[in-house]
């Protein structure tokens, strides 16, 4: 998106209840927002803006924080990182200031954004993780769902999103088999990516249910935010039961 600036975003982030600075990447502070503080409830993790040129995820996470979780705070405490890659956000680039795709650099010790994620999740387990992304080439919405000992939420999520925007129903998406816009990575693919991808590491060590949602960037920002929030709502409602 042309004209997006992290300085403007920072002002909006700093106004959120429960916000704190997680650390810095270069000159940029990265923020986390804590919603809910009941020790009897499990935490859930939301991440946006891993790729700086995917602003709808950041906007959706910010909007979620602005609404303060609502009735969902009876079921979960939320830990939200609305914009993991400020440098990329500021320049509208996928990569961080080192030219690294953070999402696939978990094994690297020299990537500050990865260090912040490590600090945030070490020793913790989350009821679920939702990782907001976007796809510049996809004709419609799709998602990745990783789960163990859980009922998948993908089908009902797609049904809900289908009322808001087109779905990507191609049989192969990003080189992986898909059904109705849902990619469940194969064991082989998972092994190939093990230790590298943020979502893979989070699923292997920190949660039994992770969804990566991908909105098509051809839609308006407002529409993409609505779709991301609808996807999140479906996940939360399913997990509350
Ligand atoms: Zn992405």
Name the percent of the chain lying above pLDDT 90. Answer: 89
Q: List Cβ neighbours of 105 (8 Å cut-off, separation of 6 or more).
A: 111, 114, 196
Residue 31 has pLDDT above 80, yes or no: yes
Contact 76, 41 (CB under 8 A): yes
CA distance 17 to 33: 7
Cα 134 to ligand 1 centre (Å): 5
Three-state SS for 145?
strand
What's phi and psi for 147, nearest 5 deg?
Answer: -155, 150
Q: Model pTM greater than 0.85? A: yes
Other Cβ atoms within 10 Å of 119 Cβ, number: 11
Other Cβ atoms within 10 Å of 50 Cβ, number: 27
Cα 45 to ligand 1 centre (Å): 17
Among the residue ranges 24-28, 189-193, 214-218, the one predicted with the least confidence is: 189-193
Cα 39 to ligand 1 centre (Å): 32
CA distance 32 to 20: 6
> By CB neighbour count within 10 A (0-12 exposed, 13-18 middle, 19+ buried), where does 41 fall?
middle
Cα 135 to ligand 1 centre (Å): 7
Cα 40 to ligand 1 centre (Å): 33
**Long-range contacts of the stretch 181-187 (C-beta < 8 A, 24+):** 181/140, 181/141, 181/142, 181/143, 182/142, 182/143, 182/144, 182/145, 182/152, 182/154, 182/155, 182/158, 183/142, 183/143, 183/144, 183/145, 184/144, 184/145, 184/146, 184/152, 184/154, 185/144, 185/146
What residue spans define the domains of the chain?
A: 6-240
Cα 182 to ligand 1 centre (Å): 16
Please give the pLDDT value at position 69: 66
pLDDT digits (tens, 9 = 90+) for 133-153: 999 999 999 999 999 999 999
Q: List Cβ neighbours of 67 (8 Å cut-off, separation of 6 or more).
A: none
> Which DSSP helix (H) or strand (E) runs through 121?
helix 112-121
Residue 72 has pLDDT above 90, yes or no: no
Fold designation for 6-240: Aminopeptidase (3.40.630)
């Amino acid at each position: 998106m042309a004209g997006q600036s992290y300085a403007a975003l920072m002002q909006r982030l700093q106004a959120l209840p429960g916000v704190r600075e997680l650390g810095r990447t270069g000159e940029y502070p990265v923020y986390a927002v804590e919603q809910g503080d009941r020790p009897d409830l499990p935490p859930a993790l939301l991440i946006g803006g891993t790729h700086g040129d995917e602003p709808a995820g950041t906007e959706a996470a910010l909007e979620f924080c602005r609404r303060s979780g609502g009735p969902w705070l009876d079921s979960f405490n939320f830990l939200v990182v609305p914009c993991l890659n400020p440098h990329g956000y500021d320049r509208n680039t996928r990569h961080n200031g080192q030219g690294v795709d953070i999402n696939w650099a978990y094994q690297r010790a020299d990537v500050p954004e990865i260090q912040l994620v490590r600090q945030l999740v070490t020793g913790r387990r989350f009821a679920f993780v939702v990782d907001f992304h976007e796809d510049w080439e996809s004709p419609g919405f799709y998602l990745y769902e990783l789960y163990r000992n859980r009922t998948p939420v993908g089908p009902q999520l797609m049904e809900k999103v289908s009322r808001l925007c087109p779905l990507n129903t191609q049989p192969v998406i990003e080189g992986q088999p898909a059904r109705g816009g849902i990619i469940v990575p194969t064991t082989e693919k998972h092994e190939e990516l093990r230790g590298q991808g943020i979502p893979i590491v989070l699923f292997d060590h920190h949660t039994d249910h992770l969804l990566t949602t991908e909105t098509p960037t051809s839609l308006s920002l407002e529409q993409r935010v609505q779709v991301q929030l609808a996807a999140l709502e479906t996940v939360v409602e399913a997990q509350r039961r």
